[in-house]
Amino acid sequence: MINYGRAMKSLVVLLGLGAICRQAFASPWLEASDPFVRSDLTALSDSGAINSPTNHFPMLWSMLDSSISQFNIRSPSLRSEYSHIKYLYQAAQLERGNRKFEVAMNSEPLIKNAFGQVNNDHWGVYASYEMLKPHYAFRLSTGYSDDGEDRDIRWKDSYLALNAGGWVFSIGTLPRWWGQGWQHNLVLNTHESVPEISLSYTSENNWLGVWSLETLVSDVDDIYQYQWSSRLISKPFSILEYGLTYHQWLKPIDDSDYLDEQVTFDAKLSLPSVRDFYHSVYVEVASDFRASQLGALLFGWSGFIPFDKHSFRLVIERQQGRDDDLHVLTDMKLFNDKLMRNSYLVEDGWSVSGYVQLANDHQIEATYQEQTQYQQQGKELYQVSYRLPALSGRLTFGVDREQSESSQTNYWSNYEFRF
């Protein structure tokens, strides 16, 4: 008998996950790996310069085609942010930086669940190569790393993709971030080693604006072997974008009566700008598909101000959960593990984070977070990182501190070179 789970995992490891745009891009998307790029994108969205939703990563470049080619920069203060996005867009078109070498080290393999923090290995050395043809693209990525449990050669962060017009078929292991949160996520937050198969369609009309529908199957290899997720995103108005997502867990390994369906909704409303200050409010809600009450609620505010080619973003978030839903999901063990890093099990928590970008391309991120997970003691989290151009590449170093009954501090660094 064929072991379909093992066959799928082997195929995904060899081929990878991805997508390909309608034009020749070396990398088909903005990936879920850089909070500063997301900050620029969100600022342009809140100013009305981008007509596509920004709540779905990896985000197809094709969704930004018309916005980039016909950018209407209403404020000269956002020219730096526009230049950052356009540079990445042109680099993708010209296939610049499609080879990568990376070294990462962490004093402790902590689980970090914020946007852009996808590598939790204790240490690792990685290399990748990308190629694009008119109707397919792929990235082969390999590395040798210690993930805190074993040392091995790994093939994560690879993809293969085929496209036909607005249709995209993809297979691989790229990290995903669906939703509006920055430090919390109630929709989908996957690690770069989760094998997935995906099919999506992107279009635009007068009712939905720019919209996209995607369905994917993930091999979570947990109590349920597969997770099926389908998501619709749309930006019908310049100030409003939303996403509607449905999850179902398939093929239970045992016969336990677990909750196996979940629905989530997320939305962002851009508020009127004040001079050069751009801000928005957002919300995520998630619950059992059959429940009459919400299982968890996340709401937040994000503000951005550019000044003299520098910029600063402040993000404040709050999450609350309902005990009976958390009890069932704790039994399921589907969230907050090394693969599916959803924050659904946070019973009560809040965070404040800041992102500073300097004119010399130095970047600083700082976060403070308090959270209480279901049936656990509360804890405080501190994180500071500094990123700068160095050695013809990019160097990042930082420190994480978890203050709880078993407090620990993690020092980490990362070097990335593209050519």
- Residue 197 and residue 226 in contact, taking contact as beta carbons nearer than 8 Å: no
Query: Rounded to an integer, what is the distance from CA 159 to the centroid of its chain?
Result: 16
The model carries a pTM of: 0.89
Q: 277-308: per-residue pLDDT in tens?
A: 999 999 999 987 766 677 889 999 999 999 88
Q: pLDDT (tens digit, 9 = 90+) per residue, 180-220?
A: 999 999 999 887 678 899 999 999 999 999 999 999 998 87
Rounded to 5 degrees, what are φ and ψ at 220?
-80, -20
The 10s digit of each residue's pLDDT in 70-111 is 666 566 788 899 989 988 888 887 878 889 999 999 998 666
Confirm if 176 and 151 have CB atoms less than 8 A apart. Answer: no
Between these two residues, 234 and 65, which has the higher pLDDT value?
Answer: 234
Q: Give the residue-averaged pLDDT of 349-372.
A: 96
Q: What is the pLDDT of residues 355-366, one digit of tens each?
A: 999 999 999 999
* Nearest residue to 359 via CA among 397, 393, 311: 311
Report residue 310's pLDDT band, with 50, 70 and 90 as the boundaries. very high
Tell me the sheet residues that pair with 302: 280, 315
23: confidence class by pLDDT, cuts 50, 70, 90: very low
Spatial separation of the C-alpha atoms in residues 359 and 200, rounded to whole Å: 37
Q: Please state, in angstroms and rounded to a whole number, the distance separating the CA atoms of residues 62 and 78.
A: 22
- Cis-peptide into 236, omega within 30 deg: no
pLDDT of residue 93: 78
CA-CA distance, 269 to 235, in Å (whole number)?
Answer: 10
Q: How far apart are the first and last CA of the chain?
A: 45
Fold annotation for 4-418: Porin (2.40.160)
Q: What is the pLDDT of residues 136-169, one digit of tens each?
A: 889 999 999 998 888 999 888 899 999 888 899 9
